């Protein structure tokens, strides 16, 4: 009963957030889905494949992981009006443990930025790529960029015989015990 009550409270709070801020709340949900897939891919790929490149002229899997952390820090710090919490991850980190941690840190940082965004704040302009852009546009670019590189990661995983996180079978809910 407690679980059901907790679920109802969370669902009601989420519904209220969507009702008050449908644009920014929707973007946060989509970002969360994509960020989950990137982090799960980084965790699933064996360390020995972090140096793997699909072709010689592209980033290695590990460099892709570092690049996604760097980019998230850049986009979200621009929206927050802060310096990025970390940079040059793609160029300075090579171990799976360091790169996975960098993505976790970047996602946690961006979660705060997405979570603090309201629709009223979404149209405020910030400097990005040599021009002024709405904060929500910058967050949308972050999500699109992250999803683009998740697509790269999917290719690398498939080439190594791994099923990417977004293609894994869904776990069936546990059935109620029978009497």
CATH assignment at residue 123: 1.20.120.450
Query: Per-residue confidence of the chain (179 residues) as pLDDT tens digits?
Result: 555 554 455 555 555 556 789 999 999 999 999 999 999 999 999 999 999 999 999 999 999 999 999 999 999 999 999 999 999 999 999 999 999 999 999 999 999 999 999 999 999 999 999 999 999 999 999 999 999 999 999 999 999 999 999 999 887 776 656 55
Q: CA 97, CA 42: separation in Å to the nearest integer?
A: 10
Residue 16 falls inside a structural domain: no
Number of residues that this document lists for the chain: 179
Residue 125's alpha-carbon distances to 117, 135, 146, 176, in angstroms, are 13, 6, 22, 51
Residue 179 falls inside a structural domain: no
Residue 69 falls inside a structural domain: yes
What's the domain count of the chain? 1
CA atoms within 13 A on the CB side of 93: 25
CA atoms within 13 A on the CB side of 40: 14
Residue 33 falls inside a structural domain: yes
Residue 54 falls inside a structural domain: no
3-state helix, strand, coil in the chain (%, to 5): 70, 5, 25
Residue 92 falls inside a structural domain: yes
Domain that holds residue 137: 21-47+59-163
Residue 177 falls inside a structural domain: no
DSSP state, residue 130: T
Q: CA 68, CA 24: separation in Å to the nearest integer?
A: 21
Does an H or E element contain 61, and which?
A: helix 61-80
Residue 130 falls inside a structural domain: yes
């Amino acid at each position: 009963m407690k679980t059901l009550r907790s679920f109802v409270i969370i669902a009601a709070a989420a519904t209220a957030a969507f009702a008050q801020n449908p644009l920014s709340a929707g973007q946060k949900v989509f970002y969360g889905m994509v960020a989950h897939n990137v982090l799960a891919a980084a965790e699933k790929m064996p360390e020995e494949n972090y140096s793997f490149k699909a072709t010689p002229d592209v980033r290695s899997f590990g460099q892709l992981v570092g690049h996604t952390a760097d980019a998230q820090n850049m986009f979200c710090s621009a929206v927050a009006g802060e310096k990025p919490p970390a940079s040059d991850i793609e160029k300075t980190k090579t171990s799976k443990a360091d790169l996975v941690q960098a993505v976790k840190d970047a996602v946690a940082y961006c979660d705060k930025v997405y979570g603090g965004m309201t629709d009223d704040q979404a149209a405020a302009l910030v400097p990005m790529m040599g021009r002024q852009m709405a904060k929500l546009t910058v967050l949308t670019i972050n999500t699109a960029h992250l999803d683009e590189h998740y697509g790269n990661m999917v290719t690398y995983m498939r080439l190594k015989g791994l099923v990417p996180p977004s293609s894994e079978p869904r776990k069936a809910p546990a059935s109620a015990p029978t009497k």
